[in-house]
Amino acid sequence: MNTDLNRDQIMMIVERARRQHSTESGQVIVTTARKAFSWLASKSDSLLHSLQFMAPATYR
């Protein structure tokens, strides 16, 4: 394999690719965590509403 790039140029390309991969991996983690917390908040809200509606009338 013959290339016109020297070693320094190849290393810069590899480093840029690693940074981009790291950034995208972080975005996947943040997006997944946000969805998980949103789901948990939704389920917690539903649970609290169901407990409130089932509470005895004396606790109004």
- Name the CA dihedral angle for 44, 45, 48, 52, rounded to a multiple of 10 degrees: -170
Tell whether the torsion through CA atoms of 9, 10, 15 and 16 is positive or negative.
positive
CA-angle at 41, arms to 36 and 47, nearest 5°: 125
pLDDT for res 54 = 59
Confirm whether pTM is higher than 0.85: no
| d(C-alpha 52, C-alpha 47), whole Å | 9
Give me the average pLDDT of each 10-residue run along the chain (60 residues): 84 95 95 96 86 60
